[in-house]
C-alpha cells in the first residue's frame, strides 16, 4: 500500500541568530541559508526516507526558480510527485530565525500552496493513508478528508498551524496529531495546561485517536479511552524546525506497515529526536537505517507505556 501526502511545500530561508527577536526588536543574524521545507513536503520526505514507506505527494508550486530545489529534494527522497503548477502565484516561502538554543520563529508566505483545490486530489486506489496539514486552504483539506474517508482510506491530520476546526473536518479524521498549543485551540481552552488539563483536552476532541507531541517530553496519545505515553529521547538539539513533521511522517509510515501504536510512537519520537540534532528542515530528517541504529543503541528504554490512565 502507498501513503499519499497532500499539502504544502516551501523554500525556507534560515537566518542564524543569538535569540529569537521579541515583537518590535531587531537582531543581527550571522548567516543565511536556504533549505526545501513546508509541512507537507517535510512529512512526505519523513514517510519515505525515515519511514521507508512508498510515498506520493500532491503539492502546488510556482513556475519559478524556488520550485526547483523543492522538487529535487522530494524526488531524491523517493517521493512520487503530482505537481499543480501555479502561473500566478510564486512557490511558497518561509522565513525562519533559528536561535542558538535551537528554538525558532517562522513566518510563512504560502504563495502557490493557496491554489490547491478539491478537484486536484488524485485517485485513491491503492492508498492506505492520507496525511494532511493546514498550510493549504481549509476548504480543500476538508474536501480531501471527506473523499478519502468515503473511499475507506485512513485520514491523518496534523492540525498545524493552529486554528479552530469544525465537525465537517474533524468528523472525517481517523488520527489527529497536534502539539500542546494546537490541542488547546481545538479543545477551546488555549493556554498552558497541566497534566490533568492535558488529559481533559484530549478527551474533548471528537476524533477517534489523538496524539499530542510534547517536545523533549515525547508524546501522549488517546485511542478511544486508552492512553499511551512515549517518553522523549535525550539528544543535544541544534534545530527543532522539522521535528514535528518528522514525527508525523514516521508515525504514519510505521502504522501503514503494520506497527501497533506504541511501536509507531517510539519510532516517531526517535526519528524526531535525531532531526533535532541537525540544521534545516528536510536535510535534518534521518534515514530509516539511522533510526534503526539509534533505537538499537538506546535499547528497550524508553518504551511506550501502554497502561490506561484515568481522565
Q: Which residues are catalytic?
A: 245
3-state per-residue secondary structure call for the chain: CEEEEECCCEEEEEEEECCCCCCCCCCCCCEEEEEEECHHHHHHHHHHHHCCCCEEEEEEEECCCCHHHHHHHHHHCCCEEEEEEECCCCCEEEEEEEECCCCEEEEEECHHHHHCCHHHCCCCCCEEEEEECCCCCHHHHHHHHHHHHHCCCEEEEECCCCCCCCHHHHCCCCEEEEEHHHHHHHCCCCCCCCHHHHHHHHHHCCCCEEEEECHHHCEEEEECCEEEEECCCCCCCCCCCCHHHHHHHHHHHHHHCCCCHHHHHHHHHHHHHHHCCCCCCHHHCCCHHHHHHHHHHHCCCCCCECCCCCC
Amino acid at each position: 500500500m502507498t501513503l499519499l501526502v497532500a499539502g504544502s511545500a516551501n523554500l525556507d530561508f534560515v537566518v542564524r541568530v543569538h535569540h529569537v527577536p521579541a515583537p518590535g526588536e531587531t537582531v543581527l543574524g550571522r548567516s543565511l541559508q536556504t533549505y526545501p521545507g513546508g509541512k507537507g513536503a517535510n512529512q512526505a520526505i519523513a514517510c519515505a526516507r525515515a519511514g521507508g514507506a512508498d510515498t506520493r505527494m500532491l503539492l502546488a508550486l510556482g513556475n519559478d526558480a524556488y520550485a526547483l530545489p523543492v522538487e529535487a529534494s522530494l524526488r531524491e527522497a523517493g517521493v512520487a510527485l503530482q505537481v499543480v503548477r501555479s502561473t500566478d502565484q510564486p512557490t511558497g516561502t518561509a522565513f525562519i530565525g533559528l536561535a542558538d538554543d535551537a528554538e525558532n520563529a517562522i513566518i510563512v508566505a504560502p504563495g502557490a500552496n493557496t491554489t490547491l483545490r478539491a478537484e486536484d486530489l488524485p485517485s485513491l486506489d491503492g492508498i492506505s493513508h492520507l496525511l494532511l496539514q493546514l498550510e493549504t486552504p481549509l476548504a480543500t483539506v476538508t474536501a480531501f478528508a471527506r473523499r478519502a474517508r468515503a473511499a475507506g482510506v485512513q485520514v491523518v491530520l496534523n492540525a498545524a498551524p493552529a486554528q479552530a476546526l469544525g465537525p465537517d473536518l474533524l468528523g472525517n479524521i481517523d488520527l489527529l496529531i497536534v502539539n500542546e498549543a494546537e490541542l488547546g485551540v481545538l479543545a477551546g481552552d488555549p493556554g498552558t495546561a497541566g497534566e490533568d488539563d492535558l488529559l481533559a483536552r484530549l478527551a474533548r476532541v471528537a476524533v477517534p485517536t489523538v496524539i499530542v507531541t510534547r517536545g523533549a517530553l515525547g508524546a501522549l496519545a488517546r485511542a478511544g479511552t486508552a492512553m499511551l505515553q512515549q517518553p522523549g529521547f535525550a539528544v543535544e538539539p541544534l534545530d527543532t524546525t522539522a521535528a514535528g513533521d518528522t514525527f508525523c511522517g514516521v508515525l504514519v509510515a510505521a502504522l501503514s506497515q503494520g506497527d501497533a501504536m506504541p511501536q509507531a510512537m517510539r519510532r516517531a519520537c526517535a526519528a524526531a529526536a535525531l532531526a533535532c540534532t541537525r540544521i534545516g528542515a528536510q536535510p535534518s530528517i534521518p534515514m530509516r537505517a539511522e533510526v534503526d541504529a539509534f533505537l538499537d543503541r538506546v535499547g528497550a528504554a524508553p518504551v511506550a507505556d501502554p497502561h490506561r490512565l484515568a481522565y
